Amino acid sequence: MAQPKKIIVFDLDGVLINSEEANYQAFAHGIEALGLPRPDRQSVISLVGLKATIMLEKLGCPTEKTGEIFQQFVKPFYLENLPRLASPMPEADQVLATLKDRGYRILACTSGDRPIQTAALKSVGLWDAIEKMQAADDSAYAKPDPRYLTELLADYDYQTLLHVEDAEVGIRMGQACGAVSIFAEYGYGSLPADLTVDHRLATLADLLAIAV
């Protein structure tokens, strides 16, 4: 009997990658380059999950300068300091290996740009576990638009779709695509009280009780 076709889609920052310090320092560096006061940590981390240019705008960067500040300050700082500031979430490699053994195809859907997220996955040793990734510079869409996720899934035939996120925009995107929604409570985001999810994770390893 054929095995069911199963896909699991992960957000990266705050779900598979512990990048809080890297994100905070990189975006704070960009805001300071504008001559603005250094933002507090929670103001930055609460925005992770949005596109970098939107994060910068919400942190006070003029809209017309977000691309420049990201390319000249945020991105270079992040890439240079990634090896010392980022790490995999606890047990991430074991969880991904177990999911693969259980027949899941493992994909990533991130709001970050491809060079940064590729470098991050390689830095923390998880790059080879990801079959395919959707990044901000791959698409005209962005979370929470469901088309951002359907582009990633377009070439796949599946019966089961699980989606692991730590941000409201990502959860809403996955739900619009009919995915089983799994909220990573250990991550950086929060959900409004009226947004219901199928499962919640206290740790990444808890996923193995759901993804059978």
Q: What is the largest CA-CA distance in the chain?
A: 64
Tell me: the pLDDT tens digits for 69-91?
A: 999 999 999 999 998 999 999 99
Find the mean pLDDT for residues 115-133.
Answer: 96
pLDDT tier at 1 (50, 70, 90 boundaries)? very low
Output the pLDDT for position 49.
84
Task: Please name which of 99, 117, 91 lies closest in space to residue 204, comparing C-alpha atoms.
Answer: 91
Find the mean pLDDT for residues 165-184.
Answer: 97
3-state secondary structure (DSSP) of residue 200: strand
Find the mean pLDDT for residues 8-30.
Answer: 96
Output the pLDDT for position 2.
52
Beginning with the edge strand found earlier in the chain, give each strand of the sheet holding 180-184 in spatial order: 132-134, 104-109, 6-10, 160-165, 180-184, 199-201
Find the mean pLDDT for residues 92-120.
Answer: 96
Higher pLDDT, 149 or 4: 149
Mean pLDDT estimate for the chain: 95
- Record the pTM: 0.88
